[in-house]
Amino acid sequence: MSASQLAGRPHCDARTRHGQPARSASPLAALVAALILAGCASPHGIAPQTTTPDPAQMQLARPAGVEAAPVADGWLALAQRDPQFAAALAEARAASPSLTAAAARVRSAMAAAGLAEAAQGPNVDLQLAYDRQRISLNNPMFPAPLGGEWYPLYRTGLSVQYVFDWWGQFAAEERAAQAQVEVARAEARDADRLLAHTLAAQYVTLGDAITQRDLARAELAALERRAALTRQQVTAGIAPADLAANINAQRDQKKAEIASLDQSVAKARHALAALAGKGPDAFAALTPAALPAASAVTLPAQPTLAHLAARPDVQAARDSVTAAAEGVKSARAAFYPTVSLTGFAGVSAGHVSDLLKKASGTYDIMPAISLPIFDGGALRAQLGSRAAHFDLANAEYTRTLINAARDGADAMVTVQASSDARRQADAVLGENARAASIARARAAGGIAPVRNALEAELARLQGERSARHALAQEWLARMDAARALGA
């Protein structure tokens, strides 16, 4: 029977050539043939229950063919502009246990792929053996004086074993293992992106906390000047005493706010140091550079399928489906006959001195076909497990796609809101700055009280705090969006 004929028959077939039924040589032979036919393992009725989803048909985003702006890594945009962050990121990557574990998983998957590839080649072993045997006196083939004596046997040579992969079982296992390598690599990329993104977000948060604290201190200084002026006016009798009490309360509230901001700065430094794999005081003197415009993190107008497909978690889920599908193919191929060839070539002799003689040569070759008959249902259970794993991988891929689409859409909404808030804050700051400038000029010219200039300065400082915070929030939103869109 040819390989093509066998490939179409995962079950046993009790026919001779020309397709004619075999005639029973005896009732016992018929019984044995019937038992073999009844016991042959079959994959009938076992198959995956789902199909791999098509992202385009799910209408999760614009088609991949639609041209869209590229996405820039948020952390990369920050690293290119701030050497301090670039250095911290390099240290974090070197010390990160999560990246070390991810790299180890890649190496482990590559080793497993190497094993799967090796299974398709021949196994060649060098054998060196010594056997000492006593022949039984009751052995009719070797009566005395041969029987009852001890005989040594020295044997050495090469043994070769090769299993033909006619049904593609080993090839499918190798493809599954290679897909698992891609899964591990995608997960390693995702771990690196998560570390860089988290570090960048914490770095921006630290910078914002320091800015808010410094501006709060400037507000306190303005309140101190206003309090001093009010005391003079109260002493001169041109201002009520309750006004001084009110200003003193504002000053005390500002001091409490500064103390809280000092705590926020310290905790932000500690968090940044932990991400970089350092002690809590590693960044005690670090002051992040001022943030440029958030447009440095380039984003598309809206997500596309190409952006979703670029996400490492989506790639890992898709490669997991590929690995599971190949696992099903391998499990199904296991139902077909195993064809193997085993051989040995070497020398064998009763004395070491005779091993190199031509007459000591020994050769053995044994082709074999093995067909699973009774296995307790192991092959069907294995196929059922692989089929269920494929369905599980499909479900996880679908879930990952849906979550990725939602993340991208939510991120773009947040980007728009943060951009609007930052523009509004900038507009307020511009108005407050102009008002403060006019108030200072009027106070210097003696046509308006100094108190008005101090109040205008406080309003300008509050506007600057809002604008700087809005810029930091826009950076965080755009970095989140870049990560959601696969950057």
- Per-residue pLDDT reduced to its tens digit, 89-139: 999 999 889 999 999 999 999 999 999 999 999 999 999 999 988 888 887
pLDDT, the chain, mean: 85
The number of beta carbons lying within 10 Å of the beta carbon of residue 461 is 22
Tell the residue number behind the tokens 């051989």, with chain if given.
343
Report the half-sphere exposure of 393 (CA within 13 A, side-chain side): 27
d(Cα 134, Cα 137) in Å, to the nearest integer? 9
Q: Mean pLDDT lowest for which of 61-70, 307-316, 385-394, 398-407? A: 61-70
Q: Mean pLDDT lowest for which of 127-131, 238-242, 281-285, 359-363? A: 238-242
* pLDDT tens per residue, range 57-97: 765 555 545 445 455 677 888 888 889 999 999 999 998 89
- Between 430 and 304, whose confidence is greater? 430
Phi, psi of 373 (to 5 degrees): -120, -70
Predicted TM-score (pTM) of the model is 0.80
- Between 324 and 375, whose confidence is greater? 324
- Confidence band for 27, pLDDT divided at 50, 70 and 90: low
Question: What local confidence, expressed as pLDDT, does residue 375 receive?
Answer: 81
d(Cα 191, Cα 96) in Å, to the nearest integer? 10
Question: What local confidence, expressed as pLDDT, does residue 70 receive?
Answer: 53
Question: What local confidence, expressed as pLDDT, does residue 347 receive?
Answer: 93
Q: Which helix (H) or strand (E) segment is 338 a member of?
A: strand 338-349
Burial category of 387 from C-beta neighbours within 10 Å (exposed 0-12, middle 13-18, buried 19 and up): buried
Query: Is the pLDDT assigned to residue 22 strictly greater than 50?
Result: no
* pLDDT tens per residue, range 175-229: 999 999 999 999 999 999 999 999 999 999 999 999 999 999 999 999 998 888 8
* pLDDT tens per residue, range 166-179: 999 999 999 999 99
All structural domains of the chain, each given as residue ranges with its CATH number in brackets, are 1-40 (no CATH), 52-120+168-335+375-484 (1.20.1600.10), 122-164+336-371 (2.20.200.10)
Over residues 8-15, the mean pLDDT reads 41
- Confidence band for 417, pLDDT divided at 50, 70 and 90: very high
* pLDDT tens per residue, range 299-328: 887 777 888 888 999 999 999 999 999 999
- Between 360 and 236, whose confidence is greater? 360
127-133 LR contacts (CB < 8 Å, sep 24+):
127/155, 127/156, 127/157, 127/158, 127/159, 127/344, 127/346, 128/155, 128/156, 129/154, 129/155, 129/156, 130/154, 130/155, 131/155
Query: Is the pLDDT assigned to residue 349 strictly greater than 70?
Result: yes
